Chains A and B, each alone.
Chain A
């Protein structure tokens, strides 16, 4: 089953990271992601630009475009990994490894309904 691992954290805390901190976390993410990729378990990896770059379309008779992210929440969606695992436990384990790299924020593990072809994106 394929899962999206959605990474949520406080954007302004991430922005306050020192360069060394950022390099360390991203480096660990990359190293682990490439291991998963070698096993054929990793699909697209997306890192999102800050929410200040976001726009939101609000549905209605006349859809409205507003600046900023969809919701003013404490934690923001910062990026996601798509993984392909046999069991939900395995997906959770992967999420735990990613979360161990920075130790805060949350990772939502969400099964995908439409499957992404891993071969197509590789």
Chain B
């Protein structure tokens, strides 16, 4: 490997920890980022000549901190120095620093950095953009591309988000166990949103948005390394790995989504599946069920089935029942109805979704599933009404095409029945 490629990977991987530590020292996001950037430039200059330091992260923090202090001293003449307390953490030496990197309180730095990006006043897309820019270190250009907006628009969005975050002020005290759990929950939600931004892409977008999935997985791994005993973090990573494993099988050459039942399972990524299965088993040993774990367990049932016919629908039904209790939502009940229809037949499933007619009145998948169930029960006229409603609500041409296929099948069945009646 060329030294530069290695240094590049080293700097990328060091970024979350280094920026997080610098933020603790300087208590200013811009200052932390700039100091890290400067430190990276020095690394690119020094490391190829002298060889990389044994501890790259500690080196970057140490150098970044000195750069920050220098700049503060230089700025002293023009502006007032930040108050003493903000800079109180600047007295230790490199050996001390290296030791600190393994210290438990250090985990909280990274968590804090991610948590700051999740400021509740920011819309979800801005939270994700902030995390990609500050924590992952993606360029504005890369982020703009992934979000399908212009670079200028993304630059503006991130600047605005940073300003909102800077005004909010942050808690730099070490969080207690309850705070930590809450922060982890908020950060996990942001990471899963990031993953879905990439995963929901279809057509020509899928190519540019796939890196979002990789980045989400990398962040989840980072968090799990820092908090190795959090079953929901294991669940989140497992869930993303199991979904990501299907990537190669889930779009046809035109970029349309291929449904799970129709996917070529030999294209699934076995390595990602193995890791996901291990993680979910590991998480369940803690006996602290959570929504990510249960969703991952559902994905695991699919991953274990060699073909759609081998799917353990009873297990999926049970898992959805658990998920309904943990996180009641009509969409989850709707998903459960698919499993119920496979286990108990279309009539049972239809009974389950009848109460959802109101809350899901404008939800494409509700009418799609309802139509399919009615069709199975031979109630063609009602099925057609449901499918018509679904088509009107379809979000993508692929969704509409899928429903049209059902309608065609209905028409063919009608034709067959009429012919049968004529011959009779």
Contacts and interface: CB of A to CB of B under 8 A. Distances in A.
Classify the secondary structure of B's interface with A. Answer: helix
B285 interface: yes
Contacts of A55: 282
B225 interface: yes
Contacts, number: 70
A41 to B, nearest CB: 25
A16 interface: yes
A55 B224 CA distance: 13
B13 A12 contact: yes
B5 interface: yes
B353 to A, nearest CB: 38
Contacts of A65: 285
A18 B278 CA distance: 25
A23 interface: no
A53 B13 contact: no
Given A49-B274, A53-B275, A10 B13 contact: yes
Contact of A67 (B6, B55, B222, B229): B229
A12 B222 contact: yes
B282 A21 contact: no
B6 A53 contact: no
B285 A101 contact: no
A52 B228 contact: yes
Nearest to B11: A16
Nearest to A21: B5
B94 to A, nearest CB: 15
B221 A104 contact: no
Interface string A13-47: 11111100100110000000000000000000000
A104 B52 contact: yes
Contact of B1 (A12, A53, A101): A101
A24 B248 CA distance: 21
Contacts of A17: 9
Contact of A52 (B10, B102, B237, B285): B237
B282 A104 contact: no
A67 B288 CA distance: 14
A55 B54 CA distance: 27
A15 B221 contact: yes
A15 B1 CA distance: 15
B225 A52 contact: yes
Contact of A16 (B13, B55, B282): B13
Interface string B211-242: 00000001001101100110000100100000
14 contacts: A18-B9, A24-B1, A49-B274, A50-B221, A51-B225, A52-B221, A52-B228, A65-B285, A66-B229, A67-B228, A67-B229, A68-B228, A104-B1, A104-B6
Interface of A: 10-18, 21, 24-25, 49-53, 55, 65-68, 72, 74, 101-104
The 9 tightest CB contacts between A and B, nearest first, are A68-B228, A16-B13, A12-B13, A16-B12, A16-B9, A52-B224, A67-B228, A67-B229, A13-B13
Given A49-B275, A50-B221, A67-B229, 9 more contacts: A15-B13, A16-B9, A16-B10, A21-B5, A68-B228, A74-B55, A103-B1, A103-B6, A104-B1
